[in-house]
A and B are shown apart, each in its own frame.
Chain A
Amino acid sequence: MSVATASRVIEFREALREAMSEEMRNDKRVFLLGEEVAQYDGAYKVSKGMLEEFGPRRIIDTPISESGFSGMAIGAAMRGLRPIVEFMSWSFSLVAADPILNNAAKMLYMSGGQFGCPIVFRGNDGAGGQLASTHSWCVESLYANVPGLKMAIPYDPYDAKGLLKTAIQDDNPVFFLESERLLSTTGHVPEEEYTIPFGKALIRREGRDCTIISFGRPLHFCEEAAAELAKEGIDCEIIDGRTIRPLDIDTMVQSVQKTNACVVVDQSWSFASVGSEIASQIHSICFDELDNFVHRVHSDDVPTPYAQNLEQAYLPNARKICEAVRAATYNA
């Protein structure tokens, strides 16, 4: 459930747009660049109407040159501007891996504190609908490994707006992972400006028997699973981490101390993943509080398939989450 109290209901994509627009009005140094963000109104209509309001100098269409325009944006950020770079898909960030990891994340360190990089990279992360393996990348586990960048994954429109505003205001590089599948979902978003701090997880559902930790789109699968499990008398507590870096392990730990069982749901592949990192931290901090080892649910360890039935089976779906919770609570 969202924590918003206003009656206004808007789409996830609108919430993103509002966040960017508000920040661009408040601070002239903020600008947006990416493929099709201006005249096309955004490949996914996130930046619709922004060209009219801010003009072609601040809403900039780029050619298909992720490496080039990411590097260019980073150079501008070094100078003190605050660019927002839209990747049409985080899958395309791979060709820009050198500038975003080697330059953005490391600039402050390499320059001995002289030049920071107040930049936001954002775009669709994770499986869309039958987009197949080269367009369905979940990059969180790849990039979260690198020190020097922050990473946020919003769950609903309220979080999308609040977290994106924080990301734009942050002086450090932020990787903002949205989901194509969530763009049309709606939720309550207040009229007035607000931000959501990084590093504070949120309890989406309170429960006694098992802690489920997740981020972004998979949280919706978790809620589906929790409803199913409630019928079996298993009461799940769902934690939305909201940001991977910084990670609010304390809130997660407190929950596990209460339930003594934990399942981590991470849409990336399992090997060396965010899920494995959280499980490892829970194991080390909650060692004496665990009734069972931390169970993990990931997408299957295969390239994302095209066929709909295969893709649905591949995702960290509600069925897999139910199985994991039952196993973790010895109800299998």
Chain B
Amino acid sequence: MINIDTEPPQNSQGSGSRQARSFDSAPLPEKEVLLGWLRQMLLIREFEVRTMQGYQNRLIGGFCHIYIGQEAIAVGTIAAVNPDDPVVLAYRDHGHALARGMDPKYCMAEMFGRIGGCAKGKGGSMHMFDAEHYLYGGHGIVGAQTPLGTGLAFATKYEDEILHDGKSNHVTLCFMGDGALNQGCFYETMNLASLLDIPVIFVVENNRYSMGTSIERGTSMANDLHVKSEAFGIDHAIVDGKNVTELYSQFKPIADWCRKNSRPYFVEAQTYRYKGHSMSDPRKYRTKDEELVEESKDCIAFLTTQLVEEYDVVADAIKQMTHQVKAQVREAVEWAKNSPETPIEELYKDVFTDSWGPFTGTSAPEMLQDRGEA
């Protein structure tokens, strides 16, 4: 007989006066790892530069959202969790895909609409998926990924409790922008996550603008975002979105706590996107001065300085790394250009898993086949 306790769940009900939870900063990993983070951020930035170029040269169409300026968040948070922890994203997703380990060539090919793309050219810029790296997609509808993230985390917990009988081994990262804070399903999701004790971290990349609407104009309590999660009994933290080592130190203990206690968290990372909301945004809603100020606090510059000053990394090594990254991205662009156009037959593939009527079943993309994952 299974206990069907009729008491309401306790963790989500609030306790009157709640102390903000505090953690000791996590120690940083060794220099090699930090150099790896720098390389990742350089890779993301160069990749996004070439993405912009590709878009302006009409190799990429539709909507395209550039991550430049926010690299530290993807790199720092993903470094704080395990490679098999689920990750789900909004549509500004190239950076996270690369940070998770997707080879840039599949990412670029997807945007070029080629068969070699991670979604065989059928998703595009907003839909970076990678089953091998537990990357459950970029998603186009604002906020729609938040219930998905909760569901993924729910599933990991279900797997442990029902299928494998163990404690939850996973925490799920659910990234969103500040714009998603206004979408109804996010509140429904936080309610569910808190009620059901779901180990999901809602990482809000607060770059202060939803397209052309500044956060003050669109979101009430923009200065006190913590009340939004507190409304559901979910803990809140603010981390430095521009400084990857700071971010990691603050974020890692949170991730570990969520994993251990199977609870959700609301983490706000303050940052700035250097480019427009998307490729057709002339950025009239903010001043040049503001942009320059923010760009002077660049996450790549911060880490570079830190590595040179505190870890004795020589400038030459960084320059070499930059060249390698540029070459890698160049190769990725080349590879993507040479990947064939998605064949017309693919139109009717992957609609259903089985074949019937005009539908022709499903098959894995090249990316998974190359790794023997087909």
List residues of A whose CB falls within 8 A of some B CB: 28-29, 31, 38-39, 51-52, 54-58, 60, 62-63, 65, 67-81, 98-99, 102-103, 107-116, 147-148, 150, 170-172, 199, 246
In the complex, the chain A residue whose C-beta lies closest to that of B353 is: A171
- Expressed in whole angstroms, the Cα–Cα distance for A56 and B150 within the complex equals 18
Q: Is the CB of B352 within 8 A of A172?
A: yes
| CB proximity to A under 8 Å, residues B94-144 | 117-123, 127, 129-131, 136-137, 139-141, 144
Q: Is residue B59 contacting chain A, with contact meaning CB distance below 8 A?
A: no
**Which of B33-41, B63-71, B184-192, B203-211 participates in binding chain A?**
B184-192
Chain A residue nearest to B110 (CB atoms) is: A112
Binary A-proximity of B279-319 (CB < 8 A = 1, otherwise 0):
00000000000000000000000000000000000000000
Distance in angstroms between the alpha carbons of A69 and B193 in the assembled complex: 10
Q: For A38, what are the chain B residues with a Cβ–Cβ distance below 8 Å? A: 4
* Contact of B4 with A148 in the complex, beta carbons under 8 Å: no
Beyond A29-B163, A57-B158, is A69–B147 a contact (Cβ under 8 Å)?
yes
Separation of A52 and B4 alpha carbons in the complex (Å): 8
Contacting residues, chain A, for B162 (C-beta < 8 A): 28, 31, 57-58
| CB-based contact A113/B350 at 8 Å | yes
* Contact A71 B123, beta carbon cutoff 8 Å: no
- For B117, what are the chain A residues with a Cβ–Cβ distance below 8 Å? 112
* Segment at the interface with A among B47-55, B218-226, B245-253, B358-366: B358-366
B130 to chain A, nearest CB (A): 7
Establish whether residues A114 and B130, one from each chain, have CB atoms under 8 Å apart when the complex forms.
Answer: yes
Q: Which of A51, A72, A170 contacts B147 (CB 8 A)?
A: A72
Complex contact A79–B151 (CB within 8 A)? yes
Cβ 8 A contact of B144, one of A71, A77, A80, A111 = A71
**Interfacial chain B residues near A63, Cβ < 8 Å:** 188, 191-192, 195
Contact string, B201-241, partner A, CB cutoff 8 A, digits 1/0? 00000000000000000000000000000000000000000
Contact partner, A116, options B4, B127, B163, B353, Cβ 8 Å:
B353
Which one of B147, B184, B363 contacts A74 once the chains associate, using CB atoms below 8 Å? Answer: B147
Are A68 and B362 neighbours in the complex by a CB distance under 8 Å? no
Contact A68 to B185, CB < 8 A, known contacts A109-B351, A112-B365, A172-B352: yes
**Complex formed: what's the CA distance from A109 to B349 in Å?**
8
Q: How far is the CB of A181 from chain B (nearest CB, A)?
A: 30
Question: Is the CB of B148 closer than 8 A to any CB of chain A?
Answer: yes
Asked if residues B144 and A108 are in contact (CB atoms below 8 Å), the reply is no
Q: Report chain A residues within 8 Å CB of B2.
A: 52, 54-56
Most buried by A among B1, B146, B148: B148
- Give the docked Cα–Cα distance between A38 and B140 (Å): 33
- Chain B residues near A28 (CB-CB < 8 A): 162-163
> B152 an interface residue at 8 Å Cβ cutoff?
yes
Taking CB as reference atom, which chain A residue is nearest B129?
Answer: A111
> A63 CA to B12 CA in the complex, in Å?
13
Contact residues in A for B334 (Cβ distance below 8 Å):
none
Please name the residue on chain A nearest to B152 by beta carbon.
Answer: A75
A-contacting residues, B320-374, CB 8 Å? 349-354, 356-357, 359, 362-365, 368
